[in-house]
Amino acid sequence: MKKKIAIYTSTRADFGILKPLISKLIQLQKFDVRIFVTGTHLDPEFGSTVTEIEKFFPKEIFYRVQQSMKEDARAKNLFVMSEAIQKYTEALVANPVDLAIVLGDRYEALCFGLVCASLGLPIVHLHGGELTLGAIDDKFRHCLTKLSNWHFVACETYRQRVIQLGEQPDTVFNVGALGVDNALSQKLMSVEELKANLGVDFKNFNELYLFTFHPETNAKDYGAELLKTFLSGLSKRLSSHNGLVVITGVNSDPGCEMIKEILQQFQNENAKHVFFKESLGVVRYLSVMKLATAVLGNSSSGILEAHSMKTPAVNLGHRQLGRERETSVIDLMLPSDCLKIDFDKLVELKISLAHSTMVKSIFGNGQASTLITKNIEEILQKNTFNRTKEFFDLQD
């Protein structure tokens, strides 16, 4: 009987990263692959992005676990987490698996890890060892590392950090970032196809920017002041240079309503230069990224994927502080930094990247999904996934 693997996804962002791995595991035909679909995927307010998953994978392999993503202001996301733990437990008790795969650092993902560990289900963790000091997710990621049995990280620095957290070296693999797999292998849409699909003629604009901003959950104002300052400068640039900014939706973190209001006001004031889409999906998002003059905001995609797409990125604030990054990423940490941004240099950097014959990434060469699949196959064949988890002490 095939081993059953559950792959957890709760947002459009983690599904976009996981897509090549899910495809590889299914294509191998050696596992009973199940997609554990929950969180904002099933919430109309966040675009009901389960429809994006359904474009690529059959519905019959889904777990669908509906949970409320509405937060109580008194306790932020704790009530969401308590409901998630209950519902995830019910789902996995009713339909047990042999191995669970979870990515990253979100609070819902931590709930999934807690449930799996408590039920004795071995966990494969992706993208551990990273730092995002401007977000509470940083703590959740390291908690998931300690709950997990096997670790697949995006670069050697992250591998060493996971080992530093006490994980056995032979359970930690540097495979690169799955996002680079997408960037290098995903078939993209042409300008004409995007026009037909989105109803926007990008050729009518001189510059194109892709913008995503999530709450900076460790900041008192969630990054609102910095965002307003940056958008003021962006507004002037769009008007003076006939630019267009494509904005994607805000995630479900605490502070999301405040950030949404700021972006809505910006859209109202710059209607001719703003196109908003709650979720573009993997293919459209990467297709716009490839065309874009730059990626703006604080999404990890600006750190992980943009360089491989030969597109520079402007990273706003401290949300991604601590991550390794390419030289094509420009950091604007404070509102005062946003007043100094040189959009002309961004245009020059885009041209330089576009004409480069080879753009190497510190996050691998697009083989992460192949390497992860190979190692998972070996783990299951050797039946070592249930071995006792011991703390690894670094030697002086």
The enclosing domain of 87 has a CATH number of 3.40.50.2000
**70 and 210 housed in the same domain:** no
- Any domain includes 181: no
Specify which residues 264 forms β-bridges with. none
d(CA 269, CA 286): 27
- Any domain includes 184: no
**101 and 230 housed in the same domain:** no
- Any domain includes 389: no
Rg (the chain; Cα; Å): 21
pLDDT at 382: 79
**226 and 338 housed in the same domain:** yes
pLDDT at 69: 79
Q: Residue 158: which domain range?
A: 3-176+367-382
pLDDT at 244: 98
**230 and 138 housed in the same domain:** no
Burial 183-201 (b: 16+ CB within 10 A, else e): bbebebbeeeebeeebebe
With contact defined as beta carbons under 8 Å apart, do 130 and 141 qualify?
yes
**133 and 235 housed in the same domain:** no
- Any domain includes 359: no
pLDDT at 71: 66
Residue 281: closest CA among 208, 209, 215, 197: 197
**110 and 172 housed in the same domain:** yes
Alpha-helical (H) ranges within the chain are 12-28, 50-54, 78-94, 107-118, 137-147, 156-164, 178-185, 191-198, 224-240, 256-269, 281-291, 301-304, 335-338, 343-354, 368-382
Q: β-strands 329-332, 99-103: how paired?
A: unpaired
Domain count, the chain: 2
- Any domain includes 313: yes
Specify which residues 207 forms β-bridges with. 243
**57 and 160 housed in the same domain:** yes
**144 and 222 housed in the same domain:** no
**91 and 220 housed in the same domain:** no
**114 and 78 housed in the same domain:** yes
Query: What's the burial of 135, exposed, middle or buried (CB within 10 Å: 0-12/13-18/19+)?
Result: buried
- Any domain includes 60: yes
DSSP character at residue 76: B
> pTM of the entire structure?
0.91
- Any domain includes 396: no
Q: pLDDT of 116-172, one tens digit each?
A: 999 999 999 999 999 999 999 999 999 999 999 999 999 999 999 999 999 999 999
Per-residue pLDDT of the chain (396 residues; tens, 9 = 90+): 899 999 999 999 999 999 999 999 999 999 999 999 999 999 998 889 999 999 999 999 999 999 887 765 556 788 889 999 999 999 999 999 999 999 999 999 999 999 999 999 999 999 999 999 999 999 999 999 999 999 999 999 999 999 999 999 999 999 999 999 999 999 999 999 999 999 999 999 999 999 999 999 999 999 999 999 999 999 999 999 999 999 999 998 889 999 999 999 999 999 999 999 999 999 999 999 999 999 999 999 999 999 999 999 999 999 999 999 999 999 999 999 999 899 999 999 999 999 988 778 999 999 999 999 999 999 888 776 667 889 999 886
**210 and 350 housed in the same domain:** yes
**261 and 373 housed in the same domain:** no
